[in-house]
Structure 1
């Protein structure tokens, strides 16, 4: 089934004509629980991975844990609609190596907005270490680029990737999701130096006027007109938690480009206007119209930081330069 973003409640370019020159395109991925195949774009499904290639592992030290969740018990509990049990952590050193958890893989043939990787790579695979790092409980991520045609010619593919015996949190394990890519217009975050100060002031004044007139159901630029929530490729980053940040390449200092945004929730609170038509009850309005429960609101079961966006940035000057990860 396709997913169709409703038309914006008002035309942002009619209200702020200057934004026409700053319009961008982003591909909403619309993950929904399913059974994706190894040769499909997905979140949480099986990776296209040659059997003779080593699976990525995190070799950094990790804090000792007391309890955790077994991956198979997480899966069983989700199928039963219950919470998984916590288990005592095995009596082994927690200093690695720890297998990375595959979060997503994306093919350019499925996602036209996906940037090309080094040496013409057209498949990107996204991983996260399931354990925390340092006193601030940080996450570590890993990106693997491939040429899809070469990987698909592998004599044998990996069946079941290695997994750690326990995960620190249940939300470290993604729910397998099929994708429904959809391109939509998007506009920059209105804060700091992401737009001219005079334009941001007018956007803020418009938001205030909307709130005075319509109260809690009022539209706002950030929530309803600029950047859609959920998993998306390309476009502009949302800076709701941190405020705008300059993300430059560590190798060449070039301003980096947003490759991918991963988010724990597909919709929440004021962003419900972005929920696709196929996931709505047309007889109801606002957040009450959303159908599908957890499968629509939080389909991947993942979390990033305190329910922030995980942005993956790449260097436009040289795709081989190291990516950067930002929780914002």
Structure 2
């Protein structure tokens, strides 16, 4: 089943022409519980991993939090998070010769952000020499950091900056934003700007001040590659970002039983901090494609 974000309830650029210059397209991935195979794009599903390559492990020191590995656990196997094929998400900046992006992470807190630490791999799927064995689940890993297998339903939508809207533009528009919300009930910040959920490209779905990393190689600001959020929408944004296919007959998502709502709002079962997200960035200027990540939560 496809997933279709409803059209914005207002003409954003007609009301706020100042934001038109900052328009971007994002690919909402809309993960939903399923049984993906290695040849499919997925979240938390099996990866098309070359049999000749050892499965990656984490040997970092971990802070002693509620999401720490057992003491003396040794090297910890990473777990699959995302696999994205170019045929389904061609908007990703695939390097020459690569057609699949794989994201794995260590499912324990790390000192940087107290969230899992991701690793990125760009691959040529035709060069794979077979499917990998199912990686072992790291001892002591909690469900909050272990995504349930999900199939994806990529959808292209337009979004406008939220936290990334330049200060001078935001200040100039503040009164109009408030007036429109008072007259229509629609908030630019919650309903008209940035899409939530798991997505490729566009703007990070910050819940705190933006933190764009600079490349340690060339010094330039990195580009947003992926956002992995705890939820596809929150208690306010669902009114415009809930897909049509998932909207209950009553029109109100909160009328659904908790279990049914969770399958729509949080199908991978992730909880990154307090409904937070992890944002992945890449430098497109450097040939070795360095990457970085940042996380925040409410």
Relative to structure 1, the CA distance from residue 144 to residue 211 in structure 2 (aligned partners, 3 Å threshold; closer, same or farther) is same
Per-residue Cα deviation, 1:163-213 (whole angstroms, up to 9, x for no partner) = 22221x22121110000000011112245xx4250x212432233224544
Q: Which residue of 2 aligns with 1:124?
A: 101
What aligned pairs does 1:276-295 form with structure 2 within 5 A after superposition?
276-281=243-248, 283-288=249-254, 292-295=260-263
Q: Which residue of 1 aligns with 2:54?
A: 54
TM-score (normalised: structure 2):
0.89
Aligned 1:38-187 pairs, distance under 5 A: 38-63=38-63, 93-94=72-73, 96-117=74-95, 119-134=96-111, 137-151=114-128, 154=129, 156-167=130-141, 169-187=142-160
CA distance in 1, matches of 2:206, 2:22: 17
Q: How far off is 1:114 after superposition?
A: 1.2
Aligned residues: 293
1:86 aligned residue: none
Inter-CA distance 14–319: structure 2 relative to 1 (3 Å threshold): farther
SS of equivalent to 1:14: helix
Answer yes or no: is the 8 Å Cα contact 1:63–1:133 preserved in 2: yes
SS at match of 1:10: coil
Aligned to 1:323: 291
CA contact under 8 A between 1:189 and 1:237: conserved in structure 2? no
- Give, in whole Å, the separation in 2 of the partners of 1:317 and 1:134: 28
Q: Distance in 1 between matches of 2:122 and 2:193?
A: 30
CA RMSD of aligned residues (A): 2.4
Matched, 1:195 2:166: yes
Q: 1:305 to 1:120 in 2, by over 3 A?
A: farther
Measure how far apart 1:267 and its partner are.
Answer: 1.4
Query: How far apart are residue 12 of structure 1 and its match?
Result: 0.6
> Does structure 1 residue 205 correspond to structure 2 residue 182?
no
* Cα gap change, 1:309 to 1:18, in 2 (>3 Å): same
Cα deviation for residue 138 of structure 1 reads 4.3
Consecutive unaligned residues in structure 1, runs of 5 or more: 69-88
1:87-114 deviation per Cα after TM superposition (whole angstroms, max 9, x unaligned): xx87x613x2111111111111111221
Partner of 1:31: 31
Partners of 1:309 and 1:138 in 2: CA distance: 9
Gaps of 5+ in 2: none
